Amino acid sequence: MTGVSARTAVFGSFLVGLTALAASGQTPLTTALDFYDRGEHERSLAAADVERLTAGDLRLGAEQWIDAGDPSTRARRRDVAAAFAVDLAWSATRHAANRISPNVDPVSSRFDHDRVRLPDTKAWFVLAGWASALMPADGPVTEVERWWRLASLGVLQDGHAWSTLLDDDHLGRAKARLGGEPRLRIIEVVARAADELGTLRESNLDRPDILRDERLGSAVTRRIPQAIRAFEALRDDPSLGGEAEVRIGYLELRRRRWADALVRFERARGLTTEPFLLAVTGYLTGWTLEQLERPQDAMAAYERAHAISPDMRDLSTRYAALLFTSGRRTDAHDVLAAMHATDAPFELLTMFERGDARLAPGYLARLREALR
């Protein structure tokens, strides 16, 4: 068969497939939802046309898919639709633009809510309330609901939707349904601090995800003590105390109280075993020590962080620079080589500022398992 004939045959098969799809009433979205319902999660996400799919399309199509099922499966279909929506919102936003986007709440943005596309983090800001209404309002809390609510809050934090997260439809409903879930305490404090203090970093820089010494105005610094007190109230919980100390240290760093920041970071090291928080603590400690012109101590802190997160660009670059200037040029080369061996990740600072966004992949994995 010639090249032209082969292409003609393939195109003909494509048209036949489209005709069959149209006749069956299937769309890429309903096909994706069917895959998700069967537990074929990666295939489902790949089938959704996220570049063209809008928040309005997803909401309307998912509602039609729910209604098309047998009445006896309606509760199951509502769970699947809500889980698919949050899973798709997360996977669609793992791109470069979101990787370096500043921590700016989208609530003040003017845009057509129904027409925002899935790769935009604002899509979940739009869809979260709709999807939350698919979850039960009363009765026992299922594992699906538990993991969906935690995942949904994580994705809202990834999109910086602090004011939206704090309203009754999201955090309020999660607190009512999940009761004493410890993460809800720190989610609320992180969200209120971000909502009241703003980004704490310049949003007009080429790389706002890189840590810099930026002098905050008095309108912000005078509100920092209140945020610190809110985090201090969490230190009584062993599961939250270490993170609370890191976050207090970061606020001290932002108001350039270097010694106070170091005290908090040192306390945090003794209170948490979470690798991410330990990496952040080492990174922030090293950076603070650099401001105090203590390069050897900074290098030791960076080394601890780098052992956990060797692919972080800003951390690796700062660590390599200190190694190079101290005469350890081969070590500096090795650090940079390890960094370039992987695709650029979301930086430590970016994910730290986004609260429970770092936990969203784990929540989504538990959500998928609960649906099986």
Residues 198-255 have pLDDT tens digits of 888 776 677 778 899 988 899 999 999 999 999 999 999 999 999 999 999 999 999 9
Q: Are 291 and 303 a contacting pair, CB within 8 Å?
A: no
Q: Are 249 and 352 a contacting pair, CB within 8 Å?
A: no
pLDDT bin (cut points 50, 70, 90) of residue 313 is: very high
pLDDT of residue 214: 87
Strands (E), 162-212: none
Residues 152-163 have pLDDT tens digits of 999 999 999 999
Any domain includes 83: no
For the cut 50, the answer to whether the pLDDT of residue 5 exceeds it is no
Any domain includes 43: no
For the cut 60, the answer to whether the pLDDT of residue 10 exceeds it is no
Radius of gyration of the chain (CA): 23
Residues 110-120 have pLDDT tens digits of 888 999 999 99
Mean pLDDT of 295-320: 97
Any domain includes 291: yes
pLDDT of residue 343: 83
Predicted TM-score of the model (pTM):
0.89
Q: Are 272 and 243 a contacting pair, CB within 8 Å?
A: yes
Any domain includes 195: no
Any domain includes 253: yes
Distance in angstroms (rounded) separating the CA atoms of residues 110 and 104? 14
Structural domain for 265, as ranges: 210-216+228-345
* CATH number where 302 lies: 1.25.40.10
Amino acid at 25: G
pLDDT of residue 150: 98
Quickly list H helices, 198-240: 218-221, 224-232
Structure tokens at 225: 């003590």
Q: How many domains does the chain have?
A: 1
For the cut 50, the answer to whether the pLDDT of residue 17 exceeds it is no
Any domain includes 10: no
pLDDT of residue 180: 86
For the cut 90, the answer to whether the pLDDT of residue 21 exceeds it is no
For the cut 70, the answer to whether the pLDDT of residue 85 exceeds it is yes
* Nearest in space to 193 (alpha carbons), one of 314, 345, 352: 352
Residue 15 burial by Cβ neighbours in a 10 Å radius (0-12, 13-18, 19+): exposed
Any domain includes 275: yes
Q: Range with the lowest mean pLDDT among 4-8, 245-249, 277-281?
A: 4-8
pLDDT of residue 109: 77
Any domain includes 258: yes
Residues 43-59 have pLDDT tens digits of 999 999 999 999 999 99
Q: Are 360 and 86 a contacting pair, CB within 8 Å?
A: no
